[in-house]
Amino acid sequence: MGDAGFLCLRARDGEEALNITRSELPDALVLDVMMPKLDGIEVCKRLKADVLISRVPILMLTSLAGVDDRIAGLDAGADDYLPKPFDLRELAARVKALIRQSRRERDRNPTTNLPGSEAIDDKVTTLLKGDAPFVLLYVDIENFRSYADVYGYRRADDVVSNTGKLILQEARSSADAPPFVGHIGGDDFIVICAPGQADPLSQGIGDAFGQTVDSYYDDADKERGYISIGDEADQEVRRVNFMTTSIARIDVEPSKFETTDELAEAMTRAKAMTRRKTHSGLFKLPRRPIE
Is 133 found in the same domain as 268?
yes
Q: What is the pLDDT of residue 3?
A: 57
Is 269 found in the same domain as 129?
yes
* Dihedral angle sign, alpha carbons of residues 257, 261, 264, 268: negative
Note whether residue 49 is domain-resident.
yes
Q: What is the pLDDT of residue 4?
A: 64
CA Rg value for the chain: 25
Q: What is the pLDDT of residue 211?
A: 95
* Closest among 266, 247, 282, 250 to 133, alpha carbons compared: 250
Contact, 242 vs 214, CB < 8 A? yes
Structural domain ending residue among the three candidates 106, 126, 145 = 106
Structural domain ending residue among the three candidates 75, 106, 137 = 106
Chain-centroid distance of CA 201 in Å reads 21
What's the CA dihedral at 180, 184, 189, 194 to 10 degrees?
Answer: -30
C-alpha dist (Å) from residue 33 to 25, 46, 67, 132, 166:
20, 14, 14, 50, 46
Is 157 found in the same domain as 235?
yes
Domain that holds residue 95: 14-106
Is 138 found in the same domain as 73?
no
DSSP-derived pairing of the beta strands 188-193 and 227-231? unpaired
- Nearest-angstrom CA–CA distance, 101 and 107: 10
Task: Give the chain's domain count.
Answer: 2
Note whether residue 222 is domain-resident.
yes
- Nearest-angstrom CA–CA distance, 114 and 185: 10
Is 210 found in the same domain as 70?
no
Is 274 found in the same domain as 150?
yes
Would you say how long the chain is, in residues?
Answer: 291
Q: Which of helix, strand or coil describes residue 30?
A: strand
Is 27 found in the same domain as 79?
yes
* Number of other CB atoms surrounding residue 53 within 10 Å: 18
Q: What is the pLDDT of residue 187?
A: 94
pTM to 2 decimal places:
0.69
Is 267 found in the same domain as 167?
yes
β-pair partners for 202: none
Q: What is the pLDDT of residue 197?
A: 92
1-51 pLDDT per residue, tens: 445 677 889 999 999 999 999 888 898 999 988 889 988 899 999 998 887
Query: What CATH number does the domain containing 260 carry?
Result: 3.30.70.270
Is 188 found in the same domain as 48?
no
- Nearest-angstrom CA–CA distance, 98 and 57: 6
Note whether residue 7 is domain-resident.
no
Along the 291 residues of the chain, how does pLDDT read in single tens digits? 445 677 889 999 999 999 999 888 898 999 988 889 988 899 999 998 887 788 899 998 887 666 777 788 888 889 998 888 888 889 999 999 998 888 777 778 888 989 888 888 888 988 988 889 999 999 999 999 999 999 999 999 999 999 999 999 999 887 777 899 999 999 999 999 999 999 999 999 999 999 999 999 999 999 988 888 875 555 566 788 899 999 999 999 888 887 888 888 888 888 888 776 644 333 333 333 333
Is 133 found in the same domain as 249?
yes
Q: What is the DSSP letter of 241?
A: P
Residues 6 or more apart whose Cβ sits within 8 Å of residue 10: none
β-pair partners for 245: 141
Note whether residue 290 is domain-resident.
no
Note whether residue 6 is domain-resident.
no
Query: What CATH number does the domain containing 22 carry?
Result: 3.40.50.2300
